Structure 1
Amino acid sequence: RGPLHVALLGDLVVGNLPRLRAKADFPIEVRCVPAAAPAGERDAAIRAADAVVTTAFPWPATDAHGLRLVQVQAAGWEKVDTACLPASTTVCNAFGHARAAAEYALMTMLMWTHRWKAVEDDFRAGSWAWSGAVNGPFRNELNSRTVGIVGLGHMGREIASRVHAMGVRVLGCARTAPADASAFDHVYPLAQLDAFLTQCDFVILAIALTPETTGLIDARRLALMRRDAVLVNLARGPVVEERALYEALTGGTIAGAVIDVWWRYPDAADPSPRPSSLPFHTLPNVMMTPHSSQWTEQMMDRRWDMIVSNLRRLHRGEPLVDVVRAGRPLS
């Protein structure tokens, strides 16, 4: 077979060219198209490619008849407009992020239950108020809590296994129960989300963003949560209704939130926007990070193992894995 023609689109992907070169054990020819490249250069690369690796695909390319695979360098593929693609093009996503997400979830829940930020800030300022030496206030341990996870894919299951190992009561909620539910004390169907929410001290969102899950956590469902509960969003911002969450946090409906995914992101017009139209950054009961929970060296290396494996399969004519849109055979 001749070389596989691969186009890397966008700065987030082009930066991983060394990974592709190091991992590919089959012949490839690569064209790198950074975000600032002219549209004509990008379009030519797409039409010359057997496979494109990207984080988004909003460009009309239904005439790119040689394009067999759009490989997304992410688990979420909502930025791929399948209407722009030939019907014969398969779309696949990639994972590798579950371990990092699980560590982040565990870290933030431990920080919350042990009041880490308040304790350290006060001690740096000279106060021993949190110390047992002066009969300071008790804090909690995570192993005394109930953690609920919405969405039991790669990320949800990995979080469950880490939390379960600490003796925490773990509940799951998903359309389909996992084949191995040993890390869960109970798994609710998504249709019973309301009952699930009432049971949890922490609610972790790890569910894919779809039309059905957009606004899944609204004002009514936030009101079902315990007043001392914390919402942890590792899914996508729009899974939660933005204003409803802000009002729940300012009004005492829930105790707090850990937010890593947002409603606004940088773009060419505004490279440093506030992540919401509402001032979440002013709230003391919010822990917030810039969609960085899974952004680790090890995550990207695992992800490119998966991407290169799919490119190898394409080159050899083998079935692809992690298919989210199967291409129709050419007639």
Structure 2
Amino acid sequence: MASSAGLDRVLEPVGVLPQAAWRLDASPEISDDEIRVRVERLNLDAASYRQLAEKHGGDGAAIRAEVLEIVAARGKMHNPVTGSGGMLIGVVDEVGPRSPLGVKEGDRVATLVSLTLTPLRITDGLAGWDGLSEQVPAEGTAILFGRSIVGVLPDDLAPELSLAVYDVCGAPALTDRVVRSYPDARVAVLGGAGKSGSLALAAARMAGARTIGIVRNEQEAASLRGAGVADEVAIADARNPVEVAAAVGEPATITVVCVDVPGCEHGAILATAPGGTVIFFSMATSFPAAALGAEGLAADVTMLIGNGFVPGHAAFAVDLLRRVPAVRSLFEARIAGH
């Protein structure tokens, strides 16, 4: 158990799991149930990258320097402010004889677990990254444990596109599961034009729900209308509860929060019908704000924290991308814009 869960990699504090650890051992030598991956590209999660970009005023060199500092200090990419990380793609370099993950040397893979628990070394100083995007060309090594999750990259998608989809693949799978538990659901997605938001809308629609996407400006609204995955599109500041509730109108059966800024909990709760469900799929979510806000509003809603894993989530998300070309176009435009 210790090795399969990565406890042997924890340097401090001893006794916690790798995600909760302050510092991991990122040395490239593997134990018999670990895998070493030769890193090609990181994908910083949206909340983490936004925090770094705002802190440094968009100065790419300063953003790059801080990412290097975090990885060097912690042995993983674990933003100490947001508590979040991201994921990576690379090539399997070595497989321990007891690894249960089902990949072989030479496979090009995406890690489907957070960088906050993945031992990581950077060996190129991130020389190929300008610091101005979430996607980070990189060289180095990463370690996967026996209880990690990994996916072989599909042949028909560019690696950058696969990385962007796998980064948020838990959102559409969980949305699909929850929608199918409600007859005639109406689903509101805050941040509907983003990566996780557009896939959540597509999943909800395919599961038979009526959908409304909430976005922050007319540019995003036009983009989402073009994708055709929302029956309605409305503009609102997700941090303004009254504005969100007014934009959603008829209370939603299910509200999915895919906005990477703090302060969106109360609007989501206010916009959800009694007996409904709120899914928080943002690393900026505050548990106290959500719990106390629901209590203060006497809101009879179930609140779920999307943990990023649903069985079959990676294949489900890739299939959605293939079946809904307009969503694929949204992803490709986002990657090109970076």
Name the TM-score class by shorter chain: 0.3 to 0.5
Larger-Rg structure? 1
Q: Work out which structure has the larger RCO, using CA pairs closer than 8 Å and 6 or more positions apart in sequence.
A: 1
Higher strand share goes to which structure?
2
TM-score (norm 1): 0.44
TM-score (norm 2): 0.43
